[in-house]
Structure 1
């Protein structure tokens, strides 16, 4: 699997990616380059997460943390 990582200007994350086949959002955090996955994210959740003006940190806290997730190796 090859992910199309996009850099992000955010305090909380430095990059993001989406796999529509598995409906999984991937994020990279600035400290140590830790990458995390969040599954059960249909395209509308990805669109909300990446919407202009959307706080990535707030969205992770309010929406993504309640979904299945874990460290991406």
Structure 2
């Protein structure tokens, strides 16, 4: 899992997105997660980091299901 995230950490935020403000709990452990709101609606995203991967270095299915549950 990732280290605890703090408000002072910086991330490569995708253009047009902002970091979801989860500073406690499980969302903090798997993040950062990103969000974009525009005229078409709401989009959430995350960048697959090493701690999101399985033994084959692909996005872990558990992470994908967790993200789907939170999105």
Task: State if a TM-score over 0.5 links the two structures.
Answer: no
Q: What TM-score do you get using the length of structure 1 for normalisation?
A: 0.31
Between Structure 1 and Structure 2, whose CA radius of gyration is higher?
Answer: 2
- The TM-score with structure 2 as length reference comes to 0.32
